[in-house]
Chains A and B, each alone.
Chain A
Amino acid sequence: MSREARTDAQEKEFDRFLDLWSRRQFVRNMGAAAAFSVVALGGLEFLEACGNATSSTTGTGGTPKKGGHITELMFSDMQTFNTTISGDDRSTLAQIHVYDGLYTINAKAELYPLIAKDLPKLSADGLTYTIKLRDNVKWTDGKALTSEDVLFTYQLMWDPKYKKVNSPRRSDLEEYVESITAPDATTIVFKTKKVYAPFATAQLQYGILPKSVYGSLTPEEINSAPANSAPTVTSGAFKFVSWKKGEQVTFARNENYYRGAPYLDQYILKIVASSTAILDQLKTGEGDRGDLDAATFDNAKGVDSLQVYSVPQLSFVFYLYQLDKAKSALFQQREVRQALLLALDRKAIAKAIYFNQATVANTSMPPASWAYNKDNKPVFGFEKAKAESLLDAAGWKKGADGIRADSAGNKLKFEMLTNAGNKVRENILVNMQQVWKDIGVDATPKFVDFNKVLVPALKDNRNFQLLLIGFGWSVDPDQSPVFHSRNAKVGGFNGMSYKSAELDKVLDDAVSTLDQKKRKEAYFKMQQIIAEDQPAPVLLFNNLIVGVNKRVNGVVVDTFSGRRTYLKDMWVSDGK
């Protein structure tokens, strides 16, 4: 009895773990290239078409009341308050309450100044970012937050003397940053080595740490400093109260917050064990906000006390073809790759497996991105007959056993990998097996261990023929990690070993200009090339489902749910 129970619980845990990394991306590196081109011109106006991100503000409006609390439910515990070493979205979520960064992201996917006074001023060559800080930002110990603190925080992630600090951003910063200087107490200057469009969106949002606390520690000590689990000196809208591990993190109003004190007395992050528990606690009112499973969307909608939102995310589910000739001869022809996609009824998958909380993908760019082309061509619908004729024309004829083979005798027979325990992905592969069988393709699903088999297959040994996985993106639309040929090397995410000189150039050009229009054109081109070539077909864009108690006002539910401009503006109508 208990073994079954444990397996079930593990699956949930596992799904959560997967969920965590797939959603982590856009939470960590929020930014807004949309606002960016305006910055390049030195202006501050908002750009009109900055994306397809949608947002809703919770509550019924009315006059905000002071007092009360909001309890947000999350699956797994945070790890650290140290913004320079964290790589998980739960930690980021906790950190934003106590440590403000230079910027954050708003619902329109725009860079939103926090500690910075306004958007960065760019030099004419596009290399130097000059950022003015507000002069009224205070740490909770009363001292001013200055450029010294900002400089120190970035040194932890970038300066060679802090190599022992476990920062996952060091290589990026080393590649792009020439120097970071603080000419005066309210100015910080980043000089970059080359024009790199995603820089601001990726690197200017880490919470600034107090030098007075961390400055005297050795790099090793910084990795396990007491302040990592109990910050004493903070700058955010809330103050740290307590972190009961595995139970809850409690924050209280920062009366002296430089942008105005929040309405709430307390903000609580409560850790529960599963998505079932989140739904239960939303229903009973033990929790006020939480992410839900797509499967429970309708159920949650039926609860009077809840508002339920389904918002697009910057993530997708896709499968990779093995394009390395030495490993597989099956997917070399573009027609084969297209035909297999055409044979899939993705609307049915969205309905049956994602409970309609996902949309069919016609491009590799998630719809929430400003670079999304909704009219991307070619479009691949559910066209079985066309799929069969494409395969016939490409020389893959059905044999006596009903399985297609080419003239060299290669049978269209292969294994499909995904991680065991992820029911959604397992179901997709089973569906693919069935529909492909109809067109003479013998594909066998194989569910493997995530860490021991699937990740190495994707990144290192590339031992697979077809592999299904999910992926999360940052706000910047650069898709080089998956589609650029340079990332076909060991350790990169181009697991299919796709190499297109044309696409490489488009991707490189797109990040080396700060002209928003040019970037958008480049990404439209990129989407077209990828759709034609189909090296790794994107099946669906899955939505994020959020449930919020109706007593909660002022929460903006959007694609970028991990970055919040509205912390001080939230209030509860019952004042409790």
Chain B
Amino acid sequence: MFLKYALRRVVASIPVLFGVTILAYTLIYVTAGDIVPGLELNPSIRQEDITRIRHNLGLDQPPQVQYLNWLGVGYVLKQAGAWPGEPSKGLLEGDFGTSIIDGTRVMDHIRDRLPNTLELAVTALLLGILMAIPLGVTGALRRGSRVDHFMTGLSVAGVSIPSFWLGLLLILLFSVQFKVWGLPWLPSGGAQSSYNGGDALDRAFHLLMPAVVLSFAYLAVWSRYTRSSMLEVLSQDYVRTARAKGMGVRRVTYLHALRNAVIPLVTLIGLELPGLVSGAAITEIVFSWPGIGRFALQSAIGHDYTTVMGLTTFVAVLVVFGNLLADLLYAVLDPRIRLS
């Protein structure tokens, strides 16, 4: 049952993935065309060289041919002699091929940066959850109180303060000014010290500010969700029944009500899973964090087709997987929900 459901969802996602890759390819083609990244405007590089490199990279092919080459269809048809040019194996190589800018395998690029991104995003996610749920519950239990108002203010701030602004502000204060004042200061960027860095403590120091900034937005949204969902659940009959049976407030609140109240939150967090990889881009840029989001942006600006396509597909797979995971978690949390 469970497996069948999961399998069906995976199969159903295949057209979605194709759609995503076609859309991504179209977008990058529309913005970049057949430009050879980084070479077009160098006065010492001649048109002949650009043309030759463009040909070597297959950028002189029509977009649909390039797309099919990327998929690996071109390579298969080439074996049958029915395809122009000299297509690479594309996706058939299994790892998104090589970057057209630096010749490195796209998967290697992802592997290099993914741990950093996960480190940042998971920390932020945990910080967000750990703070959002208690805050949301408190807000619901003490509706209209000072704590609740404070929470509301914090949420509005969290949603409306741009993360890049908050990040820059924290850097100015805790890195630059603290250093000037002679206080212990936090590193302003990167995942570790460039020289003799990399131990757990060093990384933790580097992680602190970006993780707080990233979790701030999570915190704001999730605590509101928890609050309203909790309010709704608390007003339901079974909660009153439980209380009438003589069950303690705490037990009712945290064991019965909360479990149901966090269901919508699970969806949200499930949807954040792909965001774990891509959604931290701005924070990564502000803190020079060597992660996937910053890399994706750089690749897009550099018109690195293969890398952008690889990253897009990778993230699309994560979206599908994240949604699936959220659905499955539903069933665990709420036995009334049946997978069918």
- Could you tell me which A residues sit within 8 Å of B by CB distance? 1-2, 4-6, 8-10, 12-14, 17, 20-21, 24-25, 28-29, 69, 71, 76-77, 79-80, 82, 85, 87-88, 163-164, 166-172, 202, 223-225, 228-229, 244-248, 250, 266, 268, 270-274, 276-277, 280-281, 283-287, 449, 451-452, 455, 458-459, 471-474, 481-482, 490-493, 576
- Bound CA–CA A168/B168 (angstroms): 39
Q: Is the CB of A284 within 8 A of B188?
A: yes
List B contacts of A474 (CB < 8 A).
44
Q: Is the CB of B44 within 8 A of A28?
A: yes
**CB contact under 8 A between A228 and B102, given known A202-B44, A283-B179:** yes
Digitize B187-222: 1 where CB-to-A-CB distance is under 8 Å, 0 elsewhere: 111110111000000000000000000000000000
**CB contact under 8 A between A164 and B56, given known A25-B43, A171-B46, A482-B43:** yes
List A contacts of B102 (CB < 8 A).
79-80, 228-229
- Bound CA–CA A21/B302 (angstroms): 12
List B contacts of A449 (CB < 8 A).
31
Q: Is the CB of B56 within 8 A of A277?
A: no
Which of B42, B45, B161, B176 lies in contact with A284, CB distance below 8 A? B176
Q: Is the CB of A29 within 8 A of B112?
A: no
Q: Is the CB of A245 within 8 A of B113?
A: yes
| Chain B contacts with A in 1-60, Cβ cutoff 8 A | 31-33, 35, 38-50, 52-53, 56-57
Is the CB of B61 closer than 8 A to any CB of chain A? no
Residue in B closest to A76 when the chains form the complex, CB atoms:
B298
Given A9-B281, A170-B48, 7 further pairs, Cβ under 8 A: A24-B42, A224-B98, A229-B108, A247-B191, A280-B176, A451-B303, A493-B43
Is the CB of B171 closer than 8 A to any CB of chain A? yes
Q: Is the CB of B113 within 8 A of A286?
A: no
Q: Is the CB of A281 within 8 A of B189?
A: yes
- Bound CA–CA A220/B74 (angstroms): 18
- Bound CA–CA A266/B272 (angstroms): 40
**8 closest Cβ contacts across the A-B interface?**
A491-B47, A224-B103, A247-B290, A79-B102, A272-B288, A481-B43, A246-B290, A5-B164
List A contacts of B46 (CB < 8 A).
171-172, 491
Q: Is the CB of A246 within 8 A of B41?
A: no
List A contacts of B258 (CB < 8 A).
none
List B contacts of A458 (CB < 8 A).
41
- Bound CA–CA A268/B190 (angstroms): 13
- Bound CA–CA A13/B301 (angstroms): 8
Residue in B closest to A471 when the chains form the complex, CB atoms:
B43
B26 CB to nearest A CB, Å: 14
Is the CB of B337 closer than 8 A to any CB of chain A? no
Q: Is the CB of A452 within 8 A of B195?
A: no
- Bound CA–CA A493/B43 (angstroms): 7
Is the CB of B65 closer than 8 A to any CB of chain A? no
Q: Is the CB of A285 within 8 A of B281?
A: no
List A contacts of B282 (CB < 8 A).
2, 5-6, 9
- Bound CA–CA A275/B159 (angstroms): 27
Q: Is the CB of A451 within 8 A of B104?
A: no
Q: Is the CB of B42 within 8 A of A228?
A: no
Residue in A closest to B168 when the chains form the complex, CB atoms:
A276
Q: Is the CB of A280 within 8 A of B32?
A: no
B124 CB to nearest A CB, Å: 15
Q: Is the CB of B187 within 8 A of A223?
A: no
Q: Is the CB of B290 within 8 A of A228?
A: no
Is the CB of B223 closer than 8 A to any CB of chain A? no
Residue in B closest to A167 when the chains form the complex, CB atoms:
B49
List A contacts of B284 (CB < 8 A).
273
List A contacts of B44 (CB < 8 A).
25, 28-29, 172, 202, 474, 481
Q: Is the CB of A9 within 8 A of B297?
A: yes
B107 CB to nearest A CB, Å: 12
- Bound CA–CA A455/B40 (angstroms): 8
- Bound CA–CA A208/B185 (angstroms): 43
Q: Is the CB of A277 within 8 A of B288?
A: yes
Q: Is the CB of B45 within 8 A of A10?
A: no
List A contacts of B161 (CB < 8 A).
1
- Bound CA–CA A224/B56 (angstroms): 13
**CB contact under 8 A between A284 and B187, given known A5-B282, A25-B44, A29-B44:** yes
**CB contact under 8 A between A17 and B104, given known A166-B56, A246-B295, A273-B189:** no
List A contacts of B286 (CB < 8 A).
9, 273, 277
- Bound CA–CA A168/B50 (angstroms): 7
B339 CB to nearest A CB, Å: 34
A329 CB to nearest B CB, Å: 28
| Chain B contacts with A in 230-289, Cβ cutoff 8 A | 281-282, 284-288
List A contacts of B176 (CB < 8 A).
280, 283-284
B14 CB to nearest A CB, Å: 30
List B contacts of A273 (CB < 8 A).
189, 284-288, 294
List B contacts of A225 (CB < 8 A).
103
**CB contact under 8 A between A271 and B290, given known A1-B160, A228-B103, A455-B35:** yes
B113 CB to nearest A CB, Å: 6
Q: Is the CB of A451 within 8 A of B35?
A: yes
**CB contact under 8 A between A280 and B175, given known A71-B194, A452-B33:** yes
- Bound CA–CA A229/B102 (angstroms): 9
A142 CB to nearest B CB, Å: 28
Residue in B closest to A225 when the chains form the complex, CB atoms:
B103
**CB contact under 8 A between A1 and B159, given known A28-B44, A281-B189:** yes
- Bound CA–CA A491/B52 (angstroms): 13
**CB contact under 8 A between A451 and B164, given known A244-B112, A286-B190:** no
26 contacts between A and B (CB under 8 A): A1-B161, A4-B162, A5-B163, A6-B297, A9-B285, A14-B301, A17-B301, A21-B38, A25-B43, A172-B49, A223-B56, A223-B103, A245-B109, A271-B288, A271-B290, A274-B288, A281-B189, A284-B176, A284-B185, A285-B179, A286-B190, A287-B194, A452-B31, A455-B35, A472-B43, A474-B44
- Bound CA–CA A285/B191 (angstroms): 16
Residue in B closest to A576 when the chains form the complex, CB atoms:
B195
B95 CB to nearest A CB, Å: 12
- Bound CA–CA A13/B189 (angstroms): 17
Q: Is the CB of A245 within 8 A of B104?
A: yes
List A contacts of B42 (CB < 8 A).
21, 24-25, 28, 87, 168
List B contacts of A24 (CB < 8 A).
42
- Bound CA–CA A451/B180 (angstroms): 42
From B31, B195, B287, residue with most partner A Cβ within 10 Å: B195
Q: Is the CB of A1 within 8 A of B301?
A: no
B158 CB to nearest A CB, Å: 10
Which of A20, A29, A493 lies in contact with B38, CB distance below 8 A? A20
- Bound CA–CA A493/B298 (angstroms): 26
- Bound CA–CA A144/B280 (angstroms): 48
Residue in B closest to A276 when the chains form the complex, CB atoms:
B168
Is the CB of B141 closer than 8 A to any CB of chain A? no
Q: Is the CB of A10 within 8 A of B40?
A: no
Residue in A closest to B165 when the chains form the complex, CB atoms:
A5
List B contacts of A286 (CB < 8 A).
187-190, 193-194
Residue in B closest to A287 when the chains form the complex, CB atoms:
B194
List A contacts of B324 (CB < 8 A).
none
A167 CB to nearest B CB, Å: 7
Residue in A closest to B178 when the chains form the complex, CB atoms:
A284
B65 CB to nearest A CB, Å: 19
A511 CB to nearest B CB, Å: 13
List B contacts of A229 (CB < 8 A).
102-104, 108
List A contacts of B39 (CB < 8 A).
87, 168
- Bound CA–CA A87/B39 (angstroms): 7
Is the CB of B101 closer than 8 A to any CB of chain A? yes
List B contacts of A9 (CB < 8 A).
164, 281-282, 285-286, 297
List B contacts of A85 (CB < 8 A).
103
List A contacts of B160 (CB < 8 A).
1
- Bound CA–CA A221/B89 (angstroms): 14
List A contacts of B163 (CB < 8 A).
1-2, 5
- Bound CA–CA A270/B284 (angstroms): 15
- Bound CA–CA A449/B44 (angstroms): 23
List A contacts of B290 (CB < 8 A).
244-247, 271
